[in-house]
Structure 1
């Protein structure tokens, strides 16, 4: 009996040692059925960008990193190098997404199913999500390692950088192959998944950034002709909960309060709003880019612009994108940023209050006021207005100045119920180039496009450097005073800042990676 008990206990001990980890699934238990494939594809969306896209605009002329001790502030000042944690984080997050999608594509065919259409759709989603990361990496760093399969640690130590032209080739091929695998729309339960329109819209973006204008125009035209997309009727409400999943959105990162929240309210809101962070704030440069309601620049003597009432009779997108003096805040209070206002939003009242006197209004919703760190608002990554402007810009650069160019631009300018700027009629390539660039700045402000735009246009070294200015107000002595942010002088070195440095951590781990020029 004792011997039998001993053998039994020994057998039990061996069974106890043969356990599965309780924090993950073994591959032997996964990749069996359609549900496994769909769950794995769902997980890929977590690597999409979110609130961080807004931070990119603060590295340009239209916004500013509000706290000077923020790691990103050093990039504005030009006093950063390859050890910057901001730069490493963007690199690491992108390659995390690439690894996840590559792993999915290497394993999804293990699933046994007759539903090949579903598997092909999921493959298409993964290809688009991987291409999204490569578009960003190419825009930020230029040549980067092209990885399409899961790598071992040792393989990762010998990677080299792939010429950026080949990255663009890969992205073009991936998105072109993915588009026909994807549906035009999804049922309500699957809203937010990658569609054919998202694939083609990203294809247009990628080719525009690469300077491949005919391909960009063709891809944008395909999106237009799908007949699925259009502008949302209200620019003011476009970034609200009520507008989620509207027909203008091609791609977004979908969040859920309590379950999968973001911190956009806490990050951007004025300080008076439950200690809002004002982490990134608009500048005077952006405010001045919005035309008057007559369609003229404020520098035009015929515009009717009144500097003592700077926000009256302006393009409505200004007041829908920026918190301006007198606006009603989510708390019900009035926004009063002037230094002498005595409010917690007054410039200089605290180091957290906006140093320019402007705050970002997009994505700031009353529903999030009670719990600012628990926002469920979706962050838009690609929308139809961008596609229209991409189409127009590509055709302008090709000097294909037909009626469709003007239609695309004017749809953005006056195709909504609450945005009615006068139509553009110019047929001059130089004038249209300036117009479409300004439209991109004001229409897509705080949506992560400006940094890539001014770098590909090669104007960053002209528009970024210099002091940062904010609101203009009537001071106590009756004179007009323009706020200048203290001790900030933005720097953009033409010899090296058009590309970020490859993170030093990556070079330390792999000496086959060659650093970008000037770093």
Structure 2
């Protein structure tokens, strides 16, 4: 496609409603950088790209609310698997069109300007060194541009595209948006270069991007767009030219190449295979420098940029898993749970089940910790209902254990959180490969054995076969059994890591999984009359929770079967479930002022 010259903050410039602003145009992406005294050495490039690593809009930093996955705190909020104590308003069709900014304003395009400014200037250094000397930093910038555009694509679909910084006379200021699959082709082309330019991570952790990380991002984006175009092919969000096959083939190819690298070199690879609680401990570390599975992550330093998650995870962090997620885990023999299985207590729920369930939610069995360095050790006893409507609560009764770092005597103080943030892990790549192959209709037993069955084998679960039978717990009535089995595996392996909403959207599945549905949690009856003193007769901090706990439990609403209705009093009167509009809400609206400034932009469907 034609490269549009001079973009960067083009739309941001327009959003200021100015004809000229010399001060704004003269701003540099980094403080005090001057072309006259910069762009001379490879260290200049390194320092510049370092600033991209520190951008919260490119890599979540967790200096606000954090998460254990790559998409930030609220990424799974409003899905069918995880909710917060307040419902997700977008899932209830409450989003409105903003007058200005709201994802399309000045600050929202600043990262792209900084990236493209670098790509316009690195050749000054290359001219006095060599491309080999600068290519790592070029690869990093291209990776960040791909990630930036992917985020924008998920929000808005069609986009403007730019490969250089912008001038006020750029044609893009009045141009129509480019079709989404052309944007994805450009993204994947950037990542092809990044894969070529970046060093392998096999040599050891450096804190910088690697070839394998770029391949993982490629597989994520290609799978997203391939399935989006396949499952939105007949609705308002279909592209003019469907390229689903092309993107699914790319997803299968690049993830397959990573698998081949793993088989030939040993990197990347799964961690903690066959280790007791190994799945649990994959997500609660402060340092992944020796990990073969976690390919890219953020390390924290007390008093500098810190993790928030490990301050609140012991008390629910204001969220909880749903019964829908809990029911999705198979039995230990690989067969589905029967309707009406015994879930009268947390202990019963995990009996004879996929071990990942008991390593994802807290169980009051004196094996699940709150703080194991306390004296005596403080074990989980009950979900944090008593936190009420706060970040120190669990609204569902299924409190999330996955990602809780229990290796302290109590909660970390503000500014002292150290739990690392995972951006990319090899387990996701294995799932991307299996799903792409299943969607292409080419998956075979060998494919399953080197992808999903590696994940199952880590926790001692039986392998999946291509001859898997349909079962009554499958979520989609029209899909093949193998696609449904692969989707279920993704649901449980990546639970609470921030992928589920993206998955629902790219599968065009909100109509089946969200609309009219009201999430429920655990059975209330188990907690009525629960006494901390009976469970832990020795004096512990839990004993002080009793009065608040009893008050909250008494107020919990339930459905006809006794399961906790989290939003009965707040979500549409408790009678209609979510009102997500499938002809509108898969994409965000363009702010009104942007449509006025550029009449060729056009609004997204349904808005």
1:120 aligned counterpart, secondary structure: helix
- 2:587 paired residue number: 499
The answer for the alignment partner of 1:117 in structure 2 is 132
* Alpha-carbon shift at residue 505 of structure 1 (Å): 5.8
Verify: 1:248 aligned to 2:293, yes or no.
yes
Instruction: Tell me which residue corresponds to 1:170.
Output: 186
Which segments of 5 or more consecutive residues in structure 2 lack a partner in the other structure? 1-27, 61-65, 227-246, 273-277, 469-478, 531-559, 572-576
Q: CA deviation at 1:431?
A: 1.5
Shift of 1:194: 1.5
SS of equivalent residue, structure 1 residue 166: helix
Is 1:413–1:420's contact at 8 Å kept on the other side of the alignment? Answer: no
1:481 corresponds to 2:562: yes
314, 317, 330: which one aligns with 2:353: 314
Q: 1:161 aligns to what SS in structure 2?
A: coil
**TM-fit CA distance, 1:170:** 0.4
Matches within 5 A, 1:463-478: 463-465=513-515, 466-475=517-526, 476=528
Residue by residue, what CA displacement relative to the aligned partner does 1:342-395 show, whole Å, maximum 9, x if unpaired?
Answer: xxx225745552221233333332367222554233322221111111111111
**Equivalent residue for 1:433, pick from 449, 467, 483:** 483
C-alpha separation in 2, matches of 1:172 and 1:201: 11
Q: What SS does structure 2 have at the residue aligned with 1:244? A: coil
Residue aligning to 2:260: 225
Of stretches 136-145 and 423-432 in structure 1, the one that deviates more from structure 2 is: 423-432
Distance in 2, Cα, partners of 1:299 & 1:349? 33
Moved more, 470-479 or 125-134: 470-479
Q: How many angstroms apart in 2 are the aligned matches of 1:385 and 1:177? A: 24
The DSSP-based 3-state class of the residue aligned with 1:366 is coil
Pick one of 81, 86, 90 that aligns with 1:75: 90
Residue pairs, 1:73-152, within 5 angstroms: 73-83=88-98, 88=102, 95-111=109-125, 113-152=128-167
Is residue 201–residue 295 contact of structure 2 (8 Å, CA) maintained in 1? no
Distance in structure 2 (CA, Å) of the matches to 1:108 and 1:280: 45
Find the counterpart in structure 2 of residue 269 from structure 1: 313
Alignment of 1:323-402 (within 5 A): 323-326=362-365, 327-330=368-371, 332-337=377-382, 345-346=384-385, 349-352=388-391, 353-366=393-406, 369-402=411-444
Q: Is the 8 A contact 1:220 1:390 kept in 2?
A: yes
- Name the SS for the 1:310 alignment partner: helix
User: 1:14 — aligned with what?
Assistant: none
- The Cα shift of 1:311 comes to 2.5
1:423-467 per-position Cα deviation (integer Å, ceiling 9, x unaligned): 112336811111110111111122222112111211122101321
How many pairs were matched up?
477
Q: TM-score, normalised by structure 1?
A: 0.83
Alpha-carbon distance between aligned partners in 2 of 1:174 and 1:444, rounded to the nearest angstrom: 27
CA separation of 1:449 and 1:408: change in aligned 2, threshold 3 A? farther
Query: Alignment partner of 1:360: what SS?
Result: coil
Q: Is residue 2:32 matched to residue 1:24?
A: yes
**Aligned-pair distance for 1:507?**
4.1
* Structure 1 outlier segments of 4+, above 6 Å: 90-94, 477-480
> Secondary structure, in 3 states, of the residue corresponding to 1:364?
coil
Over 3 Å counting, the alpha-carbon distance change for 1:157 and 1:37 in structure 2 is: same
- Cα distance in 2 for partners of 1:508, 1:362 equals 46
RMSD of equivalent CA atoms: 3.1
Relative to 1, partners in 2 of residues 1:25 and 1:367: Cα closer, same or farther, differing over 3 Å?
A: farther
Q: Superposed, which structure 2 residues align to 1:275-286 within 5 Å?
A: 278-286=317-325
- Of 308, 322, 327, the residue aligned with 1:288 is 327
Aligned 1:400-479 pairs, distance under 5 A: 400-416=442-458, 419-427=459-467, 430-465=480-515, 466-475=517-526, 476=528
Give the conservation status (yes or no) of the 8 Å contact 1:143–1:164: yes
Report the Cα distance in structure 2 between the residues aligned to 1:176 and 1:231, rounded to whole angstroms: 24
